Structure 1
Amino acid sequence: MEYKVEELSPVERKVVVTVPVEEVDAAIQATVSVYRTTVDIKGFRKGKVPSQLVEGRFRQQICEEATTDLVNVHLNEIMGELGVQPMSRLDVDAGLLARGEAFTYSVKFEVAPTFEVPEYMGLEVEQEKPEVDPAEIQAVVDRIRENLAEMQTVTEDRTARDGDVVVVDFSAWQDGKAVDEIKANGFQMVLGDNQSLPEFEAIVKKLKPGENGEDDITFPEDFINRDFAGRTVTLRVKLHEIKAKVMPELDDTFAKKAGGFKDMAMLREAIENSYLESRRNLVRADAQKKLVDQLLAKVDFPLPPMVVEEHVDQLLGDFKQRVESQGRRLEALGKTPEELRGQFRPKAEEMVRTQMLLLAVAAKEGMAVTNEEVDRHLLQEAIRTKQDPETVRRYYEEHNLMFALKDRLLADKAVEKIYASAKVTEVAPAAPAQEGGEAKPARKAPAKKAAPKDADAPEAAKKPAAKAKKDGAEKKAPAKKSAPKADKADE
């Protein structure tokens, strides 16, 4: 095997590989030998089938497997000799091996840019002092109280209102015919909780238990179910029951139910400590971001295009998931795929620039990621997602994500090194934004995940809010249309 390396750009490489006839024939024969031990052909004992018969019967599969195996061996050898670490997935352009013929193929990939790393030790940075507002502690107590509230049937003679949990039957009709896709019996929902279309809730709020009501509703144009987008139907509703929340007293019994605390003082202390820890992580992340920004301002280097596009794919995928979770369709935003990708490209480029800088620092420090560290991360990921660790590992391997994972862990090490050596000055927290002003968003640490949303609550008290349940329902209630939020598009 011989190969030639072409430098397409400072961050792009192309390797053209030429394989002689002898190596091609040997690779095919090796695969034929493997097939001989496994195939069953009538008239022959397993392992005794003539090679020519096996090759003739399974020629296509044999050539495909032989090509894949040979290319993988070559690429591992070539990357080792070149001493490069591909930053993107390998783009292999290859046909199939054929007996008696030389074989040529090429592979394109991207590498990290080369640049002079600025001095990153002993930088100066300001970091806010973590503080907790008593109102924030009370807000957590109130959320826990909501979670522990009991639902009791309302006995007074009144209509349903926001905050109530109602049990309804509903069905949709159009031109005198039932719309089978929109109906449910014994459906429970919380009014005023953004679970359903306002028009649907408006019908329910006019009713008392045992009463029926109906009205025309029009599904929004960006409704996630395209069959109903913009469609008007008559919705018929019967209200069976109204349940209201009964809030528990804030006493020692409440503290015990909230997580086994002795009294309210211990509960509040646990919330405060958890809040402080969350704030420490947040201000530390903000300081790390400032340090990296200082370094990025001193360097300029080209970015690997495919790596940037992979990050755009990731950001766009996350955005699509958020949009669809609100009952909307991405297409209904009125933007072309190219416009959406352009919207996320600046953020993707910032992420890649940060990654390239931190990997350069890691290389200069001679840092490495051990197999144990990879295993630990995969285990934590498995615990977080409630999956089997081997399933998580297999997903990373099958999707060629192991290199990216190691790069991310290396970047984490690098930013910790930079922060550990920095001269950190603690300052008072910034004043809250004035009325009519815009609060400054907290910045995230490079290459790290944001703190969990409920990090301010003690672990034992992190219980999901009570959700309405559906008993025997055939379909979901019409989902609420959420207005697009421009400030979410670049998250």
Structure 2
Amino acid sequence: MIDREARENALRELIKRNQIPVAASLVERAIEMQYARLRQMLGMKPELGNPGLNDELRDKMRPAGADEVRGQLLLEAIADKEGLAITDEELSRHIETTAKARNVAPAKLRAEWQRDDKIDNITYSLRQDKVLRFLVSRAEVTEVDQLTQRGAQLPDAAHEHGEHGEHGHSHEHGEPGHEHGHEHAHGEPGHVHGPDCDHDH
């Protein structure tokens, strides 16, 4: 299974290798969202107009804001290129899982999300998570290919030859209910949006 750390590492590496230009307006929006999430995480009330977000603080947050936007754009581009989408079945399964965790009926939760216009955001987050899983899986396949190309022996082959060296990776998976419910601060470019995000993307 693919855990959250692996997905976040994949996102950071993707951003690092693809420093594409991003619109200033999108970066400023990302900064404001990060600031609002930080205040919410600290249990502070929302500020109208974000008066505490002065120019100095904006400048400090701008690199992380740019990387957040950059990551979102890159994931969207990969999803389009690879034809990765969220099916109705996948959305329903996520709703059922989340409803069970919250001890509410799936139909009630779906109606609530539809009423609050959250379905699109949740679908968007699920799609991003799906792209990250795709990237991590592809990286693992590449790693195995590189091992075989170098003539390195995989675990089974090593045992057949009487060797006891072990090669392998243990992966655990955290559900994308980031989560992607994720009301947390994330000025980090490796932040992974989760399907329960209550903020706009």
Aligned length: 150
Distance apart, 1:389 and its partner CA: 2.6
Q: Which residue of 2 aligns with 1:298?
A: 17
Which structure has the highest strand share of the two? 1
Query: What's the CA shift string for 1:37-95, capped at 9, x where partnerless?
Result: xxxxxxxxxxxxxxxxxxxxxxxxxxxxxxxxxxxxxxxxxxxxxxxxxxxxxxxxxxx
Matched, 1:449 2:168: no
Which structure has the highest helix share of the two? 2
Equivalent position to 2:54, from 322, 325, 339:
339
Q: Which residue of 2 aligns with 1:323?
A: 42
Distance apart, 1:351 and its partner CA: 2.8
- TM (normalized to structure 2)? 0.55
Separation in 1, partners of 2:22, 2:86: 25
Q: Which amino acid aligns with 1:286?
A: E
Return closer, same or farther for 1:339/1:292 CA change in 2, 3 Å cut-off: same
Query: Per the alignment, in what secondary structure is the counterpart of residue 337 of structure 1?
Result: coil
Contact kept? 1:288, 1:415, Cα under 8 Å: yes
Separation in 1, partners of 2:61, 2:111: 29
Q: Which amino acid aligns with 2:11?
A: V
Q: Which residue of 1 aligns with 2:102?
A: 385
Q: Which amino acid aligns with 2:13?
A: Q
- Rg larger in structure: 1
Q: Which residue of 2 aligns with 1:367?
A: 84
Separation in 1, partners of 2:17, 2:78: 14
Contact kept? 2:15, 2:67, Cα under 8 Å: no
Identity %: 21
Return closer, same or farther for 1:308/1:321 CA change in 2, 3 Å cut-off: same
Return closer, same or farther for 1:402/1:366 CA change in 2, 3 Å cut-off: same
Q: Which residue of 1 aligns with 2:133?
A: 416
Matched, 1:400 2:117: yes
Return closer, same or farther for 1:424/1:386 CA change in 2, 3 Å cut-off: farther
Distance apart, 1:361 and its partner CA: 1.0
Contact kept? 2:65, 2:187, Cα under 8 Å: no
Return closer, same or farther for 1:297/1:329 CA change in 2, 3 Å cut-off: closer
Q: Which amino acid aligns with 2:14?
A: L
Q: CA RMSD in A?
A: 4.0
Separation in 2, partners of 1:386, 1:352: 34
Return closer, same or farther for 1:310/1:297 CA change in 2, 3 Å cut-off: closer
Separation in 1, partners of 2:92, 2:31: 24
Separation in 2, partners of 1:390, 1:308: 37
Query: Per the alignment, in what secondary structure is the counterpart of residue 363 of structure 1?
Result: helix
Separation in 1, partners of 2:30, 2:112: 17
Contact kept? 1:312, 1:344, Cα under 8 Å: no
Return closer, same or farther for 1:395/1:345 CA change in 2, 3 Å cut-off: farther
Contact kept? 2:30, 2:69, Cα under 8 Å: no
Distance apart, 1:401 and its partner CA: 2.6
Gaps of 5+ in 2: 145-166, 189-201
Q: Which amino acid aligns with 1:449?
A: H
Gaps of 5+ in 1: 1-279, 429-444, 453-487
Q: Which residue of 2 aligns with 1:309?
A: 29
Query: What's the CA shift string for 1:230-274, capped at 9, x where partnerless?
Result: xxxxxxxxxxxxxxxxxxxxxxxxxxxxxxxxxxxxxxxxxxxxx
Q: Which residue of 2 aligns with 1:288?
A: 7
Distance apart, 1:418 and its partner CA: 1.4
Contact kept? 2:27, 2:62, Cα under 8 Å: no
Distance apart, 1:297 and its partner CA: 2.8
Distance apart, 1:371 and its partner CA: 0.9
- Structure scoring higher RCO (CA < 8 A, sep ≥ 6) equals 2
Return closer, same or farther for 1:411/1:490 CA change in 2, 3 Å cut-off: closer
Separation in 2, partners of 1:350, 1:489: 11
Return closer, same or farther for 1:316/1:413 CA change in 2, 3 Å cut-off: same
Separation in 1, partners of 2:115, 2:98: 16
